Amino acid sequence: MLNKTKIAEGGRKLRKNWGSSWVVLAGNSLVFYKVPPASIPTGWGPAGSRPESSVDLRGAALAHGKHLSSRPNVLHVRTVPGHEFLLQSDDETEFRAWHRALRDVINRLERE
């Protein structure tokens, strides 16, 4: 579970709107869900697990988002189409794990 806000879409700046999101790193994509899968009641059907959005990490840029927020532990992701968002966790260990995982995927995609 991470805090997330989009800050640009197609290169156009957006006003921040922080919210929490269940984030899954799946293959070359980051997939965002409103709620964790375990909180979806069984029998609710597949619609309950539909992602809210996803981004392709190929060619994406990853940086520390320190200068973009007053919050601690912020990552800044910019994708090829010019979508930018911030991911934040109050838990530094979790933040480091996300930083490492995203960096590794983005680097691997660069070498492909």
Binding site for ligand I3S (CB under 6 A): 15-16, 18, 69-71
Residues 63 and 47: beta-carbon distance below 8 Å: no
To ligand I3S, the closest distance from the beta carbon of 51 in angstroms equals 24
CA-to-CA distance for 62 and 13, rounded, in angstroms? 17
If the CB atoms of residues 74 and 105 are measured against ligand I3S, the closer one turns out to be 74
To ligand I3S, the closest distance from the beta carbon of 27 in angstroms equals 29
Residues 3 and 19: beta-carbon distance below 8 Å: yes
If the CB atoms of residues 15 and 50 are measured against ligand I3S, the closer one turns out to be 15
DSSP state of 3: E
To ligand I3S, the closest distance from the beta carbon of 88 in angstroms equals 8
If the CB atoms of residues 95 and 105 are measured against ligand I3S, the closer one turns out to be 95
Q: What is the 3-state secondary structure (H, E, C) of 77-95?
A: EECCCCCEEEEECCCHHHH
To ligand I3S, the closest distance from the beta carbon of 30 in angstroms equals 19
How large is the greatest C-alpha to C-alpha distance in the chain, in angstroms? 44
For residue 100, give the H/E element and its range. Answer: helix 92-111
If the CB atoms of residues 21 and 105 are measured against ligand I3S, the closer one turns out to be 21
